[in-house]
Amino acid sequence: MGLNGKVCIITGGGSGIGKATAIQMASEGAIVALVGRTLSKIDTVKREIEASGGRAESYAIDVADKKSIGAMVPKLVKKYGTIDVLLNNAGHSSPHRRLLSTTPEEIDGVVESNLLGTIYCTQAVVPYMTEAGEGTIINVASMAGVNPSGLGGMIYSAVKAAVINFTGFLNSDLRNTGIRASVVIPGEVDTPILDKRPVPPSKDARSTMVTSEDTAEAITLIARLPIRTNIPELQIRPTYVRDTSGESELI
């Protein structure tokens, strides 16, 4: 079965885990719909996929824009007939990480990109998956949602915990419909988002982390499994545990 011919929406597809997963899935024959706020980034990934013989489309959309997401999904269904996989990967953290320093604007932005976008995209695809009698929804959370800390930040940790909870709700709400939901919970992953931390990790520290490609392999494993099988929750984290206390103290 695998992913050949499957239609896969990937949010946050312009860099990091989203980009790596798009390239991986396309290499296995999937038709990839890249969603991201910056057209230049997702178009670059689209061209890379097409240069390797894959199929991809790009949509410059903010996942928190419910109306735009709601308009995009029917277009894909009209063109390809179905939506097989949704990867809710878009998201970011806040420059400030502590309770009293995090601004209302930062709180709104993190909630919108990580949680509301995940909900809106899921709401958009579920009717079509229900009609088809099958579908795979994969949400990307974080170990910050399991073990909150100053390093992950107040609002990012809370929102990623909500994403984990939302995934469990989906499996309850959509049981016996043929739709399965999984949440991938990475530890530290070497992606561009680390550059925006108050204290960016060093090159040596990044060398011990999980890579975007490692995470993409785990996500693709979930997506390619026969629909009768689900992995509700998958943690992927570095084998080597590094000391982050110095970074946390400086936040």
* Residues in contact with 13: Cβ distance below 8 Å, sequence separation at least 6, in sequence order: 19, 21, 22, 32, 34, 35, 36, 42, 45, 58, 89
Give me the helix-helix angle, 117-132 and 66-80, nearest 10°: 30
Structure tokens at 230: 């689900």
Please report, as a single letter, which amino acid is at residue 85. Answer: V
Residues annotated catalytic, as ranges: 156
Rounded Cα gap, residues 9 and 19, in angstroms: 12
Beta-bridge partner residues of 56: 32
